[in-house]
Amino acid sequence: MSEVKVPELAESITEGTISEWLKSVGDQVEKGENIVELETDKVNVEVISEVAGVLSEIKAEEGDTVEVGSVIAVVSDGEAQPASNEKPESEKQVEAPKEDAAKPEQAETKEASVETSTSNERIQATPSARKLAREKGIDLAKVKTQAGDVVRPEDVERASQPAQPAKSAEQSKPAQTKSNDNPSKPVVREKLSRRRQTIAKKLLEVSNNTAMLTTFNEVDMTNVMELRKRKKDKFQEDHNGTRLGFMSFFTKAAVAALKKYPDVNAEIDGTDLILKQFYDIGIAVSTDEGLVVPIVKDCDKKNFADIEQSIVDLAVKAKDKKLGLDDMMGGSFTITNGGVFGSLMSTPIINGTQAAILGMHSIVTRPIAIDKDRMENRPMMYIALSYDHRIIDGKQAVGFLKTIKDLIENPEDLLLES
């Protein structure tokens, strides 16, 4: 017998939420096989079985919060029993027939009970759904699922309700809000996901524990857009389909600016200032469950193609919920691009204990004064630097943004900085 415990996740993570059991009680599990998915503050983690055997007990239901080190399941030695209820042939030969063991009605009831039990074992269902089905006396084989092939508690609950006559869409709407105090002002109450709770908590901590200020500048994107237009096809051909985007330009410009203004690449630890001499840049990625910030490591050592491919890989992993803890830990500075959603200007909030965050925005064609006699329409972008004023003075912040602006407007200079 082996206990399945919540593993050590990361230094700052002490608990998680049972997101989904991938195995049910009675299922055969192999050594190293994933049996449950945990949702943590940062990423989803799949927990494996350390031994081969049968999942004999589940100690925490989906949605439960569990601490690191706590036992959430038990895997016993042996193999899962076959679904068939038939005894081996050898047992049939030596078993003496019993007379008057039960009345015909009792025998039929017993057979039906066994059939329901064995059929339930074959149905894929969550532990909480199986428990509810047992309590309500419902055969899982007759339960229709709403999504996928796995029976969930809401499917069992729905199956337990008596059939209702069909109603029009207008008639069915009030049922969703009948528990409201004021039916004329309908609301829907939902529990925040663990990730959304963590985002809210962290952002509030940053706001309360830093002296945050934002400074702005604008960048003429003409030259970098022309360079990208000239080189993008050759770049994609030379680098196995990797596309040349703007993020690599801004990432390389940020590294150059961080080297010039090292306090922007720092953090406060008590009464100490920690100056980071590495350049692991967090790239904010929007997912259905909220914003995550995976880290592109060693950006000072990567070329444009390496950075672009790293960003694509991390974005795909984020959307597929495949980010590992290593993908999220150790960032020294963050870039967020609200421009992809159409944002013209914003004041981004610093990420964690970092000293600053760079915000990119939409590229908008605007009339710009070239000199006192000429005006031209140019593709312009507002950029913002939110920073911790305890570490960074206004002069440094403005100088940092000015460095970004100069390098993007003269992208050839980035080659000298790389």
Active site residue 263: no
Residues 254, 99: Cα–Cα separation, whole Å: 87
Structure tokens at 360: 């990119």
Structure tokens at 101: 């063991």
Structure tokens at 204: 């509030």
Structure tokens at 142: 């007759």
Give the strands of the sheet with 15-21, arranged side by side. Answer: 44-48, 34-39, 15-21, 65-67
The structure tokens 């990361």 sit at 10
The structure tokens 């961080």 sit at 258
Active site residue 389: yes
Phi, psi of 289 (to 5 degrees): -95, 5
For residue 94, give the H/E element and its range.
Answer: helix 89-94
SS3 call for 34: strand
Residues 84, 118: Cα–Cα separation, whole Å: 7
Pairing of strands 71-76, 53-58: antiparallel
Catalytic entry in 64, 77, 238, 393? 393
26 φ/ψ sector (left φ>0, alpha ψ -120 to 50, else beta): left
Residues 78, 81: Cα–Cα separation, whole Å: 9
Catalytic entry in 220, 389, 406, 413? 389
Give me the active site residues, please.
Answer: 389, 393
